[in-house]
């Protein structure tokens, strides 16, 4: 990139200041809500590395200070303990809005809070974007497609979602967040972006968040059987976190609103996933079948032609390459846990 870290810029007019730094690129101030979480902390790493100022807003429901502690002491990094359900005043150029529990175990824990986070939290961040003229990116989800009747899913598909089920707080919450985003765009001219993220894995996932990749990897490391829910023939498509973060930044910096599917089209049954974990982590790993959860989507796979064409983005890291990249982080945290240090 043409950005030179040694250049300094003075900002004018808060979020609307456009002061060039180096050749062709100004230093920006960027908010990442949910920036102490799994995806958010990797995004923060990328933004800090490329030379921007980053403010993280997080209430630490599922996020951890440990995920961003390597930035403590860096004057270009700021961490605010704040719940996005409450209004906040800031002056920034861009808002990456990620705050929301993402694993089914966490978002079902307090479903009403999940809806408030998605609706009131997104409303507040859009109100902020409107007031200061900031660009706003929403991290929506493949769950807006529900238990899809179209396969693979294109962005044009409207979805097949149960409005009264145990997943609805998340699915419908995100659908409403998308609606709000488009209404602020149409009604208040806010510059917006919408990403529909498919299952993502990598270092810093919560150890016991119940998601399938974190479960299988932790189970394999702890020498426990991998718990396959149902018959294990349901499918998901797993993307490594660095691919997602590249896609989010490409979307924010690009010219297109979206929505864009951001996911890896490599589709696996849960039994196949268990096979890959066994192959790359522990050849002696075993599996155990458990009852499945309600409303579990039978299959999911992104059609990413739109992101390929308009964002020039596609994932680079296969499941076989990505899984080993999270093992050290998981091993270390499990070891610390065993030694009673917590994680
Ligand atoms: P995560 O749970 O690790 O991160 C979410 C972060 O938001 C946490 O740090 C949490 O403390 C914070 N948060 C939650 N509620 C908040 C509130 N009310 N106020 C302030 N902070 C709050 O999850 P993640 O996997 O990093 O997901 C990040 C975003 O990406 C979420 O919006 C999620 O819906 C979306 N997404 C993730 C995936 C995936 O597979 N990881 C898939 C689809 C969509
Ligand atoms: N908001 C905020 N920070 C701001 C501007 C607005 O948190 O800098 C919140 C505000 O409190 C409101 C929401 O965003 O709850 C929507 O704001 P908007 O101005 O669009 O609507 P209004 O306040 O007129 O309802
Ligand atoms: N799953 C599983 N074993 C586990 C956790 C999940 O077989 O220990 C299955 C789950 O039933 C679902 C799939 O893995 O079919 C993906 O679940 P996850 O919670 O990771 O994500 P989501 O359902 O939100 O896609």
Q: What is the mean pLDDT of residues 59-70?
A: 97
How many C-beta atoms surround the C-beta of residue 149 within 10 A? 10
Which pLDDT score is estimated for 17?
Answer: 40
Pick the atom of ligand 1 nearest to 97's CA.
32
- The secondary structure of 248-288 as a DSSP string is HHHHHHSS----EEES---EEEHHHHHHHHHHHT-TT--EE
Nearest alpha carbon, ligand 1 atom 29: 98
- The secondary structure of 173-234 as a DSSP string is HHHHHHHHHHHHHHHH---EEEEEE--EE-TT--TTS--HHHHHHHHHHTT--EEEETTS--
d(CA 35, CA 23): 28
Which pLDDT score is estimated for 248?
Answer: 98
Which pLDDT score is estimated for 6?
Answer: 33
Considering only 96-105, 132-141, 202-211, 308-317, which range has the smallest mean pLDDT?
202-211
Which pLDDT score is estimated for 2?
Answer: 34
Which pLDDT score is estimated for 341?
Answer: 53
Please give the DSSP secondary-structure letter assigned to residue 13.
S
From the CA of 4, how far away is ligand 2's center (Å)? 35
Q: Which residue has the higher pLDDT, 216 or 9?
A: 216
- Single out the residue of 332, 34, 38, 39 nearest to residue 206, CA to CA: 38
Which pLDDT score is estimated for 99?
Answer: 98
Confidence label for 212 from pLDDT (cuts 50, 70 and 90): very high
Does residue 8 carry a pLDDT above 60?
no
d(CA 211, CA 76): 33
What three-state secondary structure class fits 53? strand
What is the per-residue pLDDT across 284-323, written as a single tens digit (0 to 9) for each? 999 999 999 887 888 999 999 999 999 999 999 999 999 9
Considering only 194-203, 206-215, 315-324, which range has the smallest mean pLDDT?
206-215
Nearest alpha carbon, ligand 1 atom 13: 99
How many C-beta atoms surround the C-beta of residue 109 within 10 A? 13
From the CA of 115, how far away is ligand 1's center (Å)? 13
Confidence label for 18 from pLDDT (cuts 50, 70 and 90): very low
From the CA of 27, how far away is ligand 2's center (Å)? 26
What is the per-residue pLDDT across 214-250, written as a single tens digit (0 to 9) for each? 999 999 999 999 999 999 999 999 999 999 999 999 9
d(CA 295, CA 293): 7
d(CA 79, CA 299): 38
Residue 139: which H helix or E strand, with range? strand 135-141
Which pLDDT score is estimated for 296?
Answer: 85
What three-state secondary structure class fits 20? coil
Residues with CB under 6 A from ligand 3: 104, 199, 210-212, 215, 227-229, 234, 236, 270, 292-293, 296
d(CA 299, CA 290): 18
How many C-beta atoms surround the C-beta of residue 17 within 10 A? 15
Mean pLDDT, the chain, rounded, equals 91
How many CA atoms does the CB half-sphere of 8 hold within 13 Å?
3
d(CA 303, CA 265): 7
- Asked whether 46 and 96 are in contact (CB, 8 A), the reply is no
What is the per-residue pLDDT across 48-64, written as a single tens digit (0 to 9) for each? 999 999 999 999 999 99
Q: What is the mean pLDDT of residues 129-137?
A: 98
> In the structure encoding, which two tokens stand for residue 134, read together?
């900031």
d(CA 239, CA 249): 16
């Amino acid at each position: 990139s043409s950005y030179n870290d040694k250049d300094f810029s003075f900002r004018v007019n808060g979020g609307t200041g456009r002061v060039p730094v180096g050749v062709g690129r100004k230093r920006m101030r960027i908010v990442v809500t949910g920036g102490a979480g799994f995806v958010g902390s990797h995004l923060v790493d990328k933004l800090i590395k490329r030379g921007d100022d980053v403010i993280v807003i997080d209430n630490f429901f599922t996020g951890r200070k440990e995920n961003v502690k390597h930035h403590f002491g860096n004057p270009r990094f700021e961490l605010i303990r704040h719940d996005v359900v409450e209004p906040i005043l800031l002056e920034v150029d861009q808002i990456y809005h990620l705050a929301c529990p993402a694993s089914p175990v966490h978002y079902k824990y307090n479903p009403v809070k999940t809806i408030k986070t998605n609706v009131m939290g997104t409303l507040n961040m859009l109100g902020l974007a409107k007031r200061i003229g900031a660009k706003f990116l929403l991290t929506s989800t493949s769950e807006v497609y529900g238990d899809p009747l179209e396969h693979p899913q294109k962005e044009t598909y409207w979805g097949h979602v149960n409005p009264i089920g145990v997943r609805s707080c998340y699915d419908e919450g995100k659908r409403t967040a998308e609606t709000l985003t488009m209404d602020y765009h149409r009604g208040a001219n806010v510059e917006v972006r919408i990403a529909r993220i498919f299952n993502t894995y990598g270092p810093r996932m919560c150890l016991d968040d119940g998601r399938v990749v974190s479960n299988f990897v932790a189970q394999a490391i702890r020498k426990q059987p991998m718990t396959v829910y149902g018959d294990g023939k349901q499918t998901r498509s797993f993307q490594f976190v660095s691919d997602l973060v590249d896609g989010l930044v490409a979307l924010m910096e690009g010219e297109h609103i979206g929505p864009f599917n951001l996911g890896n089209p490599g589709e696996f049954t849960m039994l196949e996933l268990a096979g890959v974990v066994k192959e790359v982590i522990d050849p002696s790993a075993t599996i155990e079948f458990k009852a499945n959860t309600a409303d579990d989507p039978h299959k999911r796979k992104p059609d990413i032609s739109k992101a390929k064409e308009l964002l020039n983005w596609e994932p680079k890291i296969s499941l076989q390459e990505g899984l080993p990249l999270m093992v050290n982080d998981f091993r270390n945290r499990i070891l610390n846990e065993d030694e009673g240090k917590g994680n």
